[in-house]
């Protein structure tokens, strides 16, 4: 099993009153709340944490793209990836991912990922995403009905730019280029490709046909994800796809401590902060035309369960106890032994070969996130390496050099 360090780069100075009822934390959050110097400190903190994760043996360092939100201040994942590509040595640089439909022209993605692959010595994983409605339809004003067509055209251009040996012309519906002749080209031909999704059958069709890694990035845990992930694997099987668990990635908030009581003391407030600021206002979440009829039917089937809807409301409102968040799968928390058992259960039930472990959340202090990273790397990850060890992994870069073993006494975070 592979382990990737990830966190949403959340602004840690939001007032308790944010967001106002019905407003959410995307698109139109008051910018007067933001202190640029504090944001810079946040960025430097996350870079240090990922450098620590590289030293402590994580297989990948994951960065993503969002716009106009204090929940995830990463408008260009490739910029953060560049900071890591030049300052880490071992882990893959997992870009999950570039919102292809937002780039004009999209060949810019091909160039930047090639740059990152060369700079890192062939460690890039290329994640391509459709983008949330908030990012794509509102922050960047892309018509919702065009997003999938733009995405697929851009994906075709990026892949062709990586492989064509001679200059070529590209004449698409949204991009026309007389000369495409990429300098540089990536070391990997091509880099592994991941496509995250939240349950759309069209995304399942793409990743199954192309044998990409599929990432279910929900932050809602095992209980909420299991029906969706089970349907995904059924789809793969029904279409003669590859059932290798290494082509399934899953995001999970994890809180490790020396005791259960310490876990609650250290992480409870940050978990509530994370839940409070992660959702958009409803008016930004569902633009007409963004969701296909098939995906909408699946979404409606999942959201008509009264208990699931009430759980979601209480989670966002901070009305759950710390251990209720754990029970319902929003987090996995506790001692290393308890966390190892819970992660094993999740990975086995969902056939997950790539765990995207979110070891910082909300306004968690850097030193606590560093301790969390260290405990997970030294006392949880080694016990789970046996999972899916008999299956080949074609979805992470070949030839990564493992980091040297670090003992429990050598906590390196925050330096």
Tell me the pLDDT tens digit for each residue of 258-306: 999 999 999 999 999 999 999 999 999 988 888 777 776 666 665 556 7
Mean pLDDT for 18-29 is 94
- CA proximity to 9, closest of 83, 93, 66, 56: 66
Strands (E), 100-202: 124-129, 168-171, 176-180, 193-197
Distance CA 96, CA 363 (A): 22
Look at residue 412 and tell me whether its pLDDT is greater than 50: no
**What is the three-class DSSP state of 217?**
coil
The Cα 381–Cα 296 span in angstroms is: 37
Average pLDDT score over residue span 347-361: 97
pTM for the structure as a whole: 0.94
What is the per-residue pLDDT for 311? 84
Q: Which of 72, 71, 75, 80 lies closest to 116 in space, CA to CA? A: 80
> Can you read off the two tokens belonging to residue 314?
């209480």
* 84-135 per-position pLDDT tens digit: 999 999 999 999 999 999 999 999 999 999 999 999 999 999 999 999 999 9
Task: Reduce the DSSP state of residue 189 to 3 states and report it.
Answer: coil
Q: How far apart are CA 234 and CA 243, in angstroms?
A: 10
Alpha-carbon dihedral 203, 117, 177, 140, rounded to 10 degrees = 50
Q: Exposure pattern of 114-126 as b/e (b: 16+ CB <10 Å)?
A: bbbbbbbebbbbb
Domain locations in the chain as residue ranges: 2-13+35-384
Q: Which CATH class is domain 2-13+35-384?
A: alpha beta
Q: By three-state DSSP, how is residue 196 classified?
A: strand
Residue 31's Cα: distance from chain center in Å? Answer: 25
Yes or no: say if 232 and 251 are a contact pair by the CB < 8 Å rule.
Answer: no
pLDDT at 415: 38
DSSP E strands, 9-165: 60-63, 92-99, 124-129
The torsion angles phi and psi of 169, rounded to 5 degrees, stand at: -95, 145
CA atoms within a 13 Å half-sphere pointing along the CA-CB vector of 137: 18
């Amino acid at each position: 099993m592979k382990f990737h360090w990830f966190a949403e780069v959340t602004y840690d100075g939001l007032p308790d009153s944010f967001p106002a009822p019905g407003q959410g934390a995307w698109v139109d959050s008051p910018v007067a709340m933001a202190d640029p110097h504090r944001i810079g400190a946040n960025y430097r903190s996350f870079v240090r944490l990922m450098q620590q994760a590289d030293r402590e043996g994580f297989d990948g360092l994951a960065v993503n793209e969002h716009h106009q939100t204090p929940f995830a201040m990463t408008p260009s994942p490739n910029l953060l990836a560049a900071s890591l590509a030049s300052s880490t040595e071992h882990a893959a640089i997992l870009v999950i991912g570039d919102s292809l439909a937002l780039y004009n022209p999209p060949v810019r993605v091909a160039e930047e990922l090639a740059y990152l692959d060369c700079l890192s010595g062939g460690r890039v994983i290329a994640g391509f995403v459709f983008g949330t409605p908030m990012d794509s339809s509102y922050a960047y004003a892309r018509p919702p009905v065009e997003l999938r067509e733009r995405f697929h055209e851009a994906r075709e251009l990026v892949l062709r730019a990586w492989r064509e040996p001679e200059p070529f012309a590209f004449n698409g519906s949204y991009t026309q280029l007389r000369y495409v002749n990429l300098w540089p080209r990536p070391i990997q031909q091509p880099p592994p490709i991941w496509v995250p999704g939240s349950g759309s059958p069209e995304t399942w069709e793409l990743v199954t046909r192309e044998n990409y890694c599929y990432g279910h990035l929900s932050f809602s845990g095992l209980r909420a994800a299991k029906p969706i992930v089970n349907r995904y694997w059924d789809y793969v099987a029904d279409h003669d796809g590859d059932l290798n668990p290494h082509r399934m990635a899953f995001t999970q908030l994890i809180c490790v401590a020396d005791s259960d009581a310490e876990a609650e003391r250290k992480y409870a407030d940050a978990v509530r902060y994370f839940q409070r600021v992660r959702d958009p206002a409803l008016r930004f979440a569902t633009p007409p035309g963004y969701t296909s009829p098939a995906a909408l039917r699946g979404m409606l089937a999942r959201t008509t369960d009264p208990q699931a809807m009430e759980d979601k409301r209480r989670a966002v409102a901070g009305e759950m106890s710390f251990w209720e968040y754990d029970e319902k799968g929003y987090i996995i928390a506790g001692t290393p032994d308890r966390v190892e058992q819970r992660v094993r259960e999740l990975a086995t039930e969902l056939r997950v070969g790539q765990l995207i472990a979110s070891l910082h959340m909300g306004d968690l202090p850097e030193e606590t996130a560093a301790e969390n990273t260290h405990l997970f790397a030294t006392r949880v990850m080694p016990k789970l390496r046996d999972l899916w060890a008999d299956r080949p992994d074609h979805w992470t870069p070949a030839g990564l050099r493992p980091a040297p073993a670090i003992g429990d006494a050598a906590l390196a975070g925050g330096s």
